């Protein structure tokens, strides 16, 4: 994503994007997102924490262990480098300990991790 003023992106909420950047710098907060008729609740986390959790949960075998380790190390290094400039945005929102509430139904789906495009979030609130 090109560097730009947080207020100038018409495709996503500038406040949500700012909260995502705070999470990228270590802030954690519980949120409720509304995404195309679904309600998604969980803890907003930054890029690095999301990658560490993903690395921890991905099932591997001996044949791909080294490749996966290299991939996750490269991604974490990239995020650290970009975050030090304080201008990097992936355009994605990362959450952990997620519950997805299906629209109009009492059914829920529990997920360890969730990633979605920030521009696709219809609305959000913080959970206290």
Residue 1 resides in a domain? no
Q: How many domains does the chain have?
A: 1
Residue with tokens 């300990």: 97
pLDDT tens, 3-36? 444 444 556 788 999 999 899 888 989 999 999 9
pLDDT tens, 98-119? 999 987 778 999 999 999 999 9
Phi, psi of 91 (to 5 degrees): 85, 5
Question: Could you give the CA distance from residue 62 to residue 32 in angstroms, rounded to a whole number?
Answer: 38
- Residue 43's domain comprises 6-126
Q: How many CB atoms lie within 10 A of CB 51?
A: 20
Residue 42 resides in a domain? yes
Residue 72 resides in a domain? yes
Residue with tokens 């995020």: 79
Domain containing 74 — which CATH number? 2.30.30.100
Residue 41 resides in a domain? yes
Phi, psi of 114 (to 5 degrees): -145, 140
pLDDT tens, 49-108? 888 888 887 766 777 777 777 887 787 777 766 665 555 567 889 999 999 998 777 899
């Amino acid at each position: 994503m090109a560097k730009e003023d947080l207020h100038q992106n018409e495709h996503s909420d500038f406040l949500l994007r700012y909260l995502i950047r705070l999470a990228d710098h270590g802030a954690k907060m519980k949120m409720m997102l509304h995404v195309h008729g679904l309600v998604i609740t969980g803890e907003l986390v930054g890029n690095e924490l999301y990658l560490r959790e993903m690395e921890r949960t991905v099932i591997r075998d001996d044949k791909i262990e080294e490749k996966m380790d290299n991939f996750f190390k490269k991604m974490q290094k990239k995020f650290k480098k970009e975050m030090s400039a304080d201008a990097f945005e992936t355009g994605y929102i990362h959450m952990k300990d997620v519950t997805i509430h299906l629209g109009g139904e009492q059914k829920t789906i529990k997920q360890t991790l969730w990633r979605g495009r920030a521009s696709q979030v219809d609305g959000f609130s913080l959970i206290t």
